[in-house]
Structure formats: structure tokens, C-alpha cells
Structure 1
Amino acid sequence: MPAIHGDPAHLVQGWTWSVAGQLHMRRLKIAEQVASRLLSEMPALQQMGGDATRYYVERDVAWVLEHLSQAIALTDPILFHDHIAWAKSMMVARGLKRANLKRTLELIAEVLDEDLSPAIYSSTITMIEDALQRLDTRTEEPPGVLNEPGLHADCARDYTEALLAGNAQAARRLVREKVRIGTPVADILLHVIEPAQVEVGRLWQINRIDVAQEHFATAVSQDLMSELTGCVRTNGDSGTVVSACVEGELHDTGLQVVNALLQLNGWATHYLGANTPKLAIQMAVRRVQPEVLALSVTTPYLAWRLPDIIAGLRSDPMTAGVKVLVGGYPFHVSPSLAKWIGADGTARNAEDAVLLAGNFARV
């Protein structure tokens, strides 16, 4: 698990000359070398993917290197191992062999040994070797959540089926009928829309649906969330919150659920949305003066942006007192990561986020 290693501002200042920083900066060059060797060894890959194969191989290797560098920077190997497990499930679902991923990791190790300093190589090889050992032990297909019993589970399944069928009208009817019969909006968000989106993401990962279906489902769900919360009026008695995804983070559905639930619980909400630059976040906090800042990131290789944002807030007398709540997939994998980067807390789901924000506001 991550260890506490001093002030986050100092950690970020040392980023460019750290081991992780060197690996990050050289990732594209390394990815080119790995792709060249892999495709020369496995010409069948080129035949399968056509002219775009090299681009996709270089992109995927660069992602592996990003996760590797962030696992080093954040001192938590599980962030890298979990990405490799995800990549394996993606590849197997798309008809690629597990051996392709294994050989890719082996070639990454070879290139690192040749291209980088002993300090970098020694910091990376243990994680790569551990990942190679885990390739044969991790489950290839993540389990679904909609088959589990739960509140409004039947509606969640029907709603998901409507989304996957491309039937936005049917999906909206299901949700509006729930509203008509008096189902609390919070229940619809937490037990219908949110699990449906989790299942959509899972189905895309295992190649049961394509990107267009995933985008369609997300767009319908986001529209419905806006509709459900659009008429909610709050006086902000619970507090004020600014919510944002860090720069580069394009997936904001989870944060929208949190923001909507906060609004329903009496919070005055200022939602900045996806891909928000650091300076914009800091300026919004200075202007709004919220009790809580909620930050979301879904991929570990973007988590390194968070310490810099938090350190900047702490160093400004106008924003030093804001409580920072972080969430997203990296914190599910490694909850103690939140403390390590300087945040005040993290929550595994939207309900916990509302409870924790309330605790912050009462401090």
C-alpha cells in the first residue's frame, strides 16, 4: 500500500526528475521500440489489424507504461497489476492471445534494461515480473452486478436492456414511471442508472457491445440525470460543493451521480464536469468558497495530477481550508492512496460520498 512520503507539493516538484517521471517522459520512444519488436515477431498481429496495427500497439504500450510510471510514483504496485488484469480481459475478449500481452511485457522489460538507467530498471522490473506471474491467475471476465438481488434490480435490468437495444424512449419511460409512482430520485440514481452504467462499461470491456452503444447509453443516462435533478431547488443548508474531473479525465458519469445526490441532500452544487484544468479548478474554489471540493479520476495514470491540485489549494490562504474529497477507480483499488496524495478522504460510492461530505461540512 502507499506510504506517506512528505508533503505532496514536494512530491510533485520532484516529478520531472524522479524515476517515474523519467519513465513517463520516455514512454513514447519506448512504445515505438516495443511495437517494432513485437510486430516483427508476430506478423499475424499486423494481418489481423491492418495498417492501423502499429498505431494501436504503440498506444496500448504507452498506456501500460503510464500505469507503470504512476504505480511507481504513487508507490502502489496494485495500480499497475490491476491495469494488466484489465488489459488481459480486453485482449482475450477481442480474440487476442494472452501470450501477446505476456510477450509485450517481456519486451518492455528488455527495452527498459537497454534504454534506461539501472535505477529505473530496478524500480520497474519487480512490478513487471509480478504482473507476468499474475497473468495466469486473474479472472478474465469481470462479474456483472445486475444479476445480484437488490432494490429496483428488475428495473435496472430492464433499463439496461433498453439502452443496449438503442431504445431511448423505453429507457426514459421506465425511469419516468418510477418517478410517477413516487420512487425517490436518489433511489433511481443509485439503484437503476448507476448499476446500469457499470454494466454497460463491463460489457464494453469484454467486447459484448461497441463504443457507439456505450456512448449512446451514457448520453441517455446523463440526460435523465439532468431531468431528474433539474427541478430540485436547494437553499444550500447542507453546504456548498465544487465538483470536477481532472484534466484528461473524460468519464464523468460517476461524478454526476455524486453531484446529483449531493444536490438532492440540500447542497448547493457547482459542477465543472469532465477534463477540467488545474487552474480552472483552483479559480472556481477561490470564487465559490465551498466547504468541499469533490475530484474524480477513473484511471491511475491521471491520479498524479491530484497532488499538484491539492498542494496548490493548500498553499493559497483563500482555499487552504477546503476539504478535498476524491473518488474513482484508483481509490477503489487502493483506498489509502487518498491520504498519500493529500486528500481529506475518499468514498467508494455516491452514498458514502454524501455522508463524508456532510461530516466535512460539520467539522
Structure 2
Amino acid sequence: MPATHGDPAQLVQSWTWSVAGQLHLRRTKIAERVAQRLLAETPALTRKAGEATQYYVERDVGWLLEHLSQAIALTDPILFHDHIAWAKSMMTARGLKRADLKRTLELIAEVLDEDLSPAVYASAITLIEDAIQRLDTRTEEPAGRLSQPGLHVETARAYTNALVAGDGAAARKLIRDKVAAGTRLPDILLHVIEPAQVEIGRLWQVNRIDVGQEHFATSVSQELMTELTGSLAPNGETGTLVAACVEGELHDTGLRVVNTLLQMGGWNSHYLGANTPKAAIHQAVRRVQPDVLALSVTTPYLAWRLADVIAELRADPQTAGVKVLVGGYPFHVSPSLAKWIGADGTARNAEDAVLLAGDFARV
């Protein structure tokens, strides 16, 4: 794969013909073949999950292939290794066998060896073999942020417990009472709602809550953020922002927090939200001419879409100069990813994002 540092357009172009591109384009057929072989070998999986087993195995193998192709495209193995660690933790918490994940990776290697050229296969097998070795390490439950001391951590724990219990009324009352008692809104966002949502995600990962509880918690938190910031009247004196999650990304809570904090600081925001098509982002930047474009992605294998968006913006004289701030989980795992996709910067948390956006606006 040719070097692509500093040239996001070249990175996106390489996606169509590189090893990563081949894996991406063939992932559906590869996943189908892997699933068929795995289920033929282990009929107990079908007995456990029923008729939908084939669908779920194909889906999960597709995710593995997407993370593998992303790691190859960006020459960053940690993206794939992190997904394997997540998958192992998630499967272990649900009583599934680590051996099933190991065999899945072995079957992926077999199918890739049959389906791809030797040169292409060689680019993938090193990552797969390394992942298989990592499966033999002890599985540790990921630590929760709320188990550590911190500002308003007791409130965050109580808020999380109310959400997990399905008691939206108690969760809303807790936040409203804190605001009425004088707790600063930025503190509510940064030290209660945001860490609570991170904990909700962790609880789903370790099988303490189901997806319905996770969706309920997110809905309540987003509703509260809208309520608490509904009276804001940003003057735009600090800067103008366009904020969006790329197409396919449905998790926008983190971006909402950053957007709200910037609005509180006087920014005029054009918030596009989750799952925003590339063309819509481009059109918004053309129309608004913002000081900063904030882009977010939580799912690592969608990170290439950020590169695609940025490349298109840079190729258009009307949008080429916009400062692009990126954030989300993949950039926590691999901070260097921001440079590879052509962004101007990334931040590890919402507070840092606000500071960096301010620096961009003053340039």
C-alpha cells in the first residue's frame, strides 16, 4: 500500500484497489462462506440461536472483515486488535466459547487464502494470526469510569442506576434537581450524562443490560440535553460550527455534548446529527461556511468514511479551507488516525474538543 500521509484524497482513492478495498468489496461473500463452514462444524451454535444463527454469524464475520480491512487501509493493527478484544469480552460475558471466535478467525484465514491473491492474502494473515494468539490471553472485564473517584461521580452513578432500572422519571428529576441547586450545566454534561452513557455502553458489552435498556438510556439522556439547552441563544461571536456523524453512524451522544458546550460558549451551531450522508455534509459546509466542521464516528470500521468526506471537501475550492475536527472511539484507540484521514485535529474528550475548536476559530 503506498504511503498516504497528508493526502486524504490518495487514501480514499487507494481504498478502491488496495487490499483493504478487496476485503471490503468481497466481505459479504466471504462472510457467507465462513458462516457456512463454522455452522457445519459446530451445529450446537444453531441449536442455541435457532434459524437466525446464519444471519448473526454472517453479520459478525462481516464486522470482523470490516475492522480487518480498516486496519490494513490505515496501516494500524491496533484497530483490529481492539475489536478482537471487544468481541472476546462481549462473547465471554454471554457464555459463548472463546474457541468459537478462534475458529471463526481460522476459517476467515482459510477462505481468504482461497479467494485472494497470495500478495493480498499475505497482507491480512499477519493480523489474523496475531489476533488468534491474543485470544489466549486472560479475558478481563473492561473497567468502568464510574468506579473511579471523580467530580459528581456519585450523581453519575445514581443517574446510571435510574436509567438501568428503567426509571426515566427518577433520572430526569435527579438532573433537574441538580440544575436547580446550582450545578453548572457543563458539569452536568461532562461529569454526569456523558460518563453515564459510557457506562451504559460498558454494561451492554458485559451483558449486564440488553439493547432495549441501552436505547432507553440514550433516549432519556438526549431528551435531557435538548431540554437543558433549549433556551440557549448562541450569538455566533466565538465561531460557527457544522457538526455531523458520518453515514452509518447512529451514535451521536458524544457529538451532542461537544455541540452543546460550544453553543454555551457562544458558537452558532448547525447540528446535522447522526447518520448524515456525505453529500449533505458537503452541502452544509458550502452553505454555512463554518469556522469548524466537527465530525464524529464511534464505530471503527466507519472511519474511512471520514476520509472520504474530508477528501471531497478539500477538492472543492469553496470548502477546502474548513478546519476539520474529528472525534470518537477510534481516535481514542489510535490518535494518529486523525492525521491519516486528513483531519486538522482530534480530541480525547469534549473539553479538549472545545479548546481545539476555539484554536481553529482563531487561526
Q: How would you bin the TM-score normalised by the shorter chain?
A: over 0.9
Contact (CA 8 Å) 1:85, 1:140: kept in 2 or not?
A: no
Instruction: Find the counterpart in structure 2 of residue 42 from structure 1.
Output: 42
**In structure 2, what is the Cα distance between the partners aligned to 1:165 and 1:302?**
32
**In structure 2, what is the Cα distance between the partners aligned to 1:139 and 1:238?**
47
Contact (CA 8 Å) 1:243, 1:259: kept in 2 or not?
A: yes
Instruction: Find the counterpart in structure 1 of residue 112 from structure 2.
Output: 112
> 5 Å matches for 1:247-266?
247-266=247-266
**In structure 2, what is the Cα distance between the partners aligned to 1:338 and 1:137?**
30
- The residue identity in structure 2 corresponding to 1:310 is I
- The residue identity in structure 2 corresponding to 1:26 is R
**Aligned pair in 2 of structure 1 residues 77, 269: CA closer, same or farther (>3 Å)?**
same
Consecutive aligned runs of 4 or more in structure 1 exceeding 4 Å deviation: none
Superposition deviation, residue 6 in structure 1: 5.3
Superposition deviation, residue 139 in structure 1: 3.7
Instruction: Find the counterpart in structure 2 of residue 93 from structure 1.
Output: 93
CA-atom RMSD in angstroms: 1.2
**In structure 1, what is the Cα distance between the partners aligned to 2:104 and 2:119?**
21
**In structure 1, what is the Cα distance between the partners aligned to 2:243 and 2:236?**
15
> 5 Å matches for 1:66-145?
66-137=66-137, 139-145=139-145
Instruction: Find the counterpart in structure 1 of residue 319 from structure 2.
Output: 319
Contact (CA 8 Å) 1:246, 1:274: kept in 2 or not?
A: yes
Instruction: Find the counterpart in structure 1 of residue 291 from structure 2.
Output: 291
**In structure 2, what is the Cα distance between the partners aligned to 1:320 and 1:116?**
37
> 5 Å matches for 1:156-167?
156-167=156-167
1:206 paired with 2:203, answer no
Superposition deviation, residue 71 in structure 1: 0.6
Extract unaligned runs of 5+ from structure 2.
none
Superposition deviation, residue 328 in structure 1: 0.5
1:306 paired with 2:285, answer no
Output one character per residue of 1:34-63: Cα deviation in whole Å (capped at 9) or x when no partner. Answer: 111111111111111111111100110011
Instruction: Find the counterpart in structure 2 of residue 28 from structure 1.
Output: 28
> 5 Å matches for 1:144-155?
144-155=144-155
Contact (CA 8 Å) 1:23, 1:120: kept in 2 or not?
A: no
- The residue identity in structure 1 corresponding to 2:108 is I
* SS state at 2:251 partner: coil
Contact (CA 8 Å) 1:3, 1:75: kept in 2 or not?
A: no
> 5 Å matches for 1:267-286?
267-286=267-286
Extract unaligned runs of 5+ from structure 1.
none
Contact (CA 8 Å) 1:92, 1:140: kept in 2 or not?
A: no
- Structure 2 length as normaliser, TM-score? 0.98
Instruction: Find the counterpart in structure 2 of residue 191 from structure 1.
Output: 191
Superposition deviation, residue 4 in structure 1: 4.6
* SS state at 2:183 partner: coil
- Structure 1 length as normaliser, TM-score? 0.98
